[in-house]
Chain A
Amino acid sequence: MLSRFAENAFWMGRYAERAENLSRLLLMTEIFAGGEDSDKAWRPVLQVFFDEDAYMQRYKTITALNVVKFYLCEANNPNSVYAAVHMLKENARSLRHIISTESWRQISVFFSDVQALSKRRLSLSELSDICSDIRTACFTHRGVIEGTWYRDEVWRFNRLGSALERADQMTRLIDMKYFEYDRDDDENVAPPDVAWWNTLLRSASGFHAFQRKHPVDPDPADAARFLLLDTQLPLSVRGAVRAVAYQLDRLHGDFNVEPDKAIGEALSALEARLETPPERLNGRALHVYLDHLQIEILALANAIGARYFSPSA
């Protein structure tokens, strides 16, 4: 398997997860903004992606519709759904002779649908439908891969990229409301309430499972623990990191592709972090914890890239 193919497959996985999570994040923000154009509701989205400057160059003021456009269909914004699906397609293009035609077809149609969005007027009232369509396309994408791809190294690397991105995106989704600890003193930050967490749980398809596990009086720390550490929730960070470990293990076992020492160390560090969360998963402690997780996920991604994608021949 060419190193380049492994890299393309890995990034296909990452970009598909990214598109899915963006649609989740936009929809959640809109639900909480309740149709309001407030700076307060929409600025955190720009902050969590470090996009305030880029956005301000393009639009003068923060309005719901402009932020939504910026993240849905702005081709020049590398953090947009448009960019994610475009990069998904370009990575798939390099793999077209390996991946199933069904899969390429789905990606082509997905991208042309997203392109169509960028060519027409949008209104906020459609956001829910649009985000739901994007998520459905992402689910279909995953399903077509599951149903049609040959189970070779390319498939493993795709699943690996997808799992890694999923871990990363969940930390960002939660951090959206905890990010303010970076900019302000504890007493000035109002951590999100139960309603916000419930919406997040619903958007991560975890609300009902969470209710079953915590039938009485759950608090935000329970929700955070569930979304980060529950091993049975598909979108949880720990679940995703376990999937990463599994894929690396299979690459070794089935294809004789050994991870190197750097990957092993980065993975162990991340796993250790997930085994030892702070006592109270709330407030500043949660933000700091998310920060550490993000740094360790990035370190693992870098180790994977160095080992597999740029081999020194």
Chain B
Amino acid sequence: MKIHDLFENYDHKTDFCELFGPAGGPENESLLKDKLSHFKLRTLNKRNAAAERELRNLGITFTVYSDAGAIDRILPFDPIPRPISAQDWDSLEAGCKQRVTAINLFLADIYSDQKIIKDDIVPADLILGNKNFRKEMVGLNLYANTYTHISGVDLIRDNNGDFLVLEDNCRSPSGVSYVIENRHLMRRSFPDLMEREFIESVSNYGQKLRGKLLETAPPVDNPQAVLLTPGVFNSAYFEHVFLAREMGVSLVEGRDLIVDDDNRVFMKTITGLSPVHVIYRRIDDDFLDPEVFREDSMLGVPGVMRALRAGNVTIANAVGTGVADDKAIYAYMPRIIEYYLNEPAILKNVETYICREPDSLQYVLDHLPELVVKPVGESGGYGIVIGPKAAQSELEEVRALLKKDPSNYIAQPMINLSVCPTLTAKGVAPRHVDLRPFVLTGKDCWVLPGGLTRVAMREGSMIVNSSQGGGSKDTWVMRPEASA
């Protein structure tokens, strides 16, 4: 006889649930679910409060600076992990590797021969007219031909349980520190929940990152890597600290580095100047080198682009990778993968209609009330029209815009995110989640098992961003016989 069940009132309705499975289908059975169901809500709440206190004490925070000084905020942590089966993971891992391999080939191509433009696969204006396209990179040969060393692939899961790519992140994807710290936290706070589970380890990320970065270093003996941060005022400063520590490299600011007249990079130490060969930078292109980009940048390193051109330094990620994670290019990603690798994309995009193509435009115009229309140049959700929620007048407005300038738009069906049981003020309830695996590229690709699961803490919300009150969960790749 069951005395109580944590999931007694749990109902994920029509959503796919990461723990229970598809709506209406047979429930997934798992050791994790059994163990969780025997937890008392009070115990879960108590341990969760202790875990969050520990996050604060350890300073695992993103920092918000205001007039009142530094406010260290923690990313809300949800104690119910998000499981991924080994079978699902193997296919996700292959899909992520494939996608990032193609993205690197794409970047190498657009900054050299531009075959993909000549072969009419992607329209020239989407690449050459992109504000993230950096002409300074044209004709440079990068070590190992690697452009995006660290990539994040944002995935969602639809009602059938299929993983779809929502967005690529090829500039400075953040969040990996939470993946590892969440695991440490689970181990400390919920050892009983982890008992008898075989979870793939995430603890060697720092070593892998350092190794992959050094694979792309200039050919010198004992190359030195550093992590370049904008400084303690940056909201992701904790992550910079974390990564520098895990890699065992110096966390430097622009003022700590100089480039000499021979285009070599050095850091200023108490024993004089010490050479630097790889810079993992967490500074945007615009601020990286005031000699080339924004002159008023106080954060960057004057001359670092000279050093790059001279082949004396590797900058990770490379300058100009932002073209690849642009919304307009996203729509072409399945074709980009086919073009460079001669194989179909393993991971599907959310279905995307490219309005500059007449058939797609016609479809979009015929189905406006069902679709989400997005301008390609804009970021941050600006100019997006959500068909099912738009007034008739708005639909007519966007119809006119589409006819006038179709090239500027893409359209997608309404998407739904899967849910995962999550601890809320009213007990355990379904909340929407996404997943960001992290892909490292040196001479080849490596994927950190799992990734960052972000969770929208508000009921019904699909906005998982930390700036909008999203939290995170430990993500378990469950592989029998692996050692966690």
Contact = CB atoms under 8 A, between A and B. Distances in A.
A4 B253 CA distance: 10
B59 A2 contact: no
Interface of A: 1-6, 75, 90, 93-94, 96-98, 101, 104-105, 108-109, 112, 153, 255-257, 308, 311, 313
Nearest to A310: B268
B83 to A, nearest CB: 28
Contacts of B268: 2-4, 311, 313
B252 A2 contact: yes
B-side interface size class: 20 to 34
Interface string B48-77: 000000001111000000000110100000
A108 B273 contact: no
B28 to A, nearest CB: 37
Contact of A308 (B258, B267, B270, B273): B270
A6 B251 contact: no
B256 interface: yes
A2 B58 contact: no
B222 interface: no
Interface of B: 56-59, 69-70, 72, 227, 232, 237-238, 240-242, 244-245, 250-253, 255-256, 258, 266-273
A257 B245 contact: no
B270 A3 contact: yes
Contacts of B252: 2
Contacts of A90: 70, 232
Determine the main DSSP class of B at the interface with A. mixed
Given A96-B59, A97-B245, A104-B59, A256 B271 contact: yes
A98 B72 CA distance: 20
Contacts of A313: 258, 266, 268, 272-273
Contacts of B255: 4
Contacts of A256: 271
Given A3-B268, A97-B250, A313-B266, 7 more contacts: A1-B270, A2-B268, A3-B270, A108-B59, A311-B269, A311-B270, A313-B273
A94 B253 CA distance: 10
B58 A105 contact: yes
B232 A3 contact: no
13 contacts: A2-B250, A3-B256, A5-B250, A90-B70, A93-B237, A97-B227, A101-B58, A105-B59, A108-B58, A153-B270, A257-B271, A308-B270, A311-B269
B58 A6 contact: no
B57 to A, nearest CB: 5
A53 B161 CA distance: 69
Contact of A97 (B72, B241, B256, B258): B241
B267 A2 contact: yes
A97 B59 contact: no
A1 B227 CA distance: 14
Of listed B57, B252, B269, residue having the most chain A CB within 10 A? B269
Contact of B269 (A2, A93, A97, A101): A2
Nearest to B245: A97
Contact of A3 (B57, B72, B266, B269): B269
A104 B58 contact: yes
A166 B245 CA distance: 30
Nearest to A102: B58
Of listed B57, B237, B255, residue having the most chain A CB within 10 A? B57
A257 B269 CA distance: 10
A4 to B, nearest CB: 6
B181 to A, nearest CB: 10
Contact of A4 (B56, B256, B258): B256
A153 B270 CA distance: 9
